[in-house]
Chains A and B, each alone.
Chain A
Amino acid sequence: MDFLRPASWEEALAAKAAHPTAVPIAGGTDVMVEINFDHRRPEYLLDLNRIGELSEWAVGEETVELGASVPYTRIMEDLRAELPGLALASHTVASPQIRNRGGVGGNLGTASPAGDAHPALLAAGAEVEVESVRGSRRIPIDDFYTGVKRNALAADELIKTVHIRKADGPQQFSKVGTRNAMVIALCAFGLALHPGTRTVRTGIGSAAPTPVRARVAEEFLNAALDEGGFWESGKVITPSVARQFAMLVSAACNPIDDVRGTAAYRRHAVDIMARRQLGWTWEQYRRGGHPLEGAA
Chain B
Amino acid sequence: MRVTFTVNGREQVADDVWEGESLLYVLRERLGLPGSKNACEQGECGSCTVRLDGVPVCACLVAAGQAEGREVITVEGLADYARRRDSGVSDSGASDSGRSGSGERGAEHPGDGAGELSVIQQAFIDAGAVQCGFCTPGLLVAADEMLERNPSPSDADIREALSGNLCRCTGYEKILDAVRLAAARQEEAV
Contact = CB atoms under 8 A, between A and B. Distances in A.
Interface residues of A, number: 29
Nearest to B145: A96
A182 B166 CA distance: 10
B61 A37 contact: no
A94 B62 contact: no
A96 B149 CA distance: 13
A45 interface: yes
A5 B56 contact: no
Q: Main secondary structure on chain A at its contact with chain B?
A: loop
Given A28-B61, A33-B42, A2 B68 contact: no
A273 interface: no
B43 A3 contact: no
B35 interface: no
Contacts of B160: 96
A28 B59 CA distance: 10
B20 interface: yes
B42 A37 contact: yes
Interface string A2-45: 11010000000000000000000101110111011100011001
B144 to A, nearest CB: 13
A96 B161 contact: yes
Interface stretch (A97-105, A165-173, A199-207, A256-264): A97-105
A98 B55 CA distance: 10
Contacts of B166: 182
A58 interface: no
A57 B42 CA distance: 28
Given A36-B41, A36-B60, A97-B43, A25 B164 contact: no
B102 interface: no
Contacts of B161: 96
A98 B45 CA distance: 11
B44 A47 contact: no
B66 A47 contact: yes
A95 B40 CA distance: 14
A86 B65 CA distance: 30
A181 interface: yes
Contacts of A49: 66
A101 B57 contact: yes
Interface string B36-65: 000001111010010000011110111101
B19 A1 contact: yes
A136 interface: no
Interface string B141-185: 010000000000000000011011110000000000000000000
Contact of A45 (B20, B56, B142): B20
B65 A97 contact: no
Which of B1, B18, B58, B68 has the most chain A CB within a 10 Å cutoff?
A: B58
A130 to B, nearest CB: 22
Given A28-B61, A49-B66, A33 B56 contact: no
A146 interface: no
B6 interface: no
A67 B41 CA distance: 27
B22 interface: yes
Interface string A158-184: 000000000000000000000011100
Given A5-B68, A45-B20, A180 B43 contact: no
B156 to A, nearest CB: 11
Nearest to B68: A5
Contact of A33 (B1, B41, B62, B165): B41
Nearest to B163: A181
A170 to B, nearest CB: 24
Contact of A98 (B1, B41, B43): B43
Which of B18, B43, B58, B165 has the most chain A CB within a 10 Å cutoff?
A: B43
B58 to A, nearest CB: 5
B119 to A, nearest CB: 20
A97 B57 contact: yes
Contacts of A32: 22, 43, 60-63
Contacts of A25: 63, 66
Contacts of A42: 20
Contact of A28 (B19, B66, B165): B66
Interface of A: 1-3, 5, 25, 27-29, 31-33, 35-37, 41-42, 45, 47, 49, 94-98, 100-101, 180-182
Closest CB pairs A-B (n = 5): A95-B164, A181-B163, A1-B19, A28-B61, A3-B19
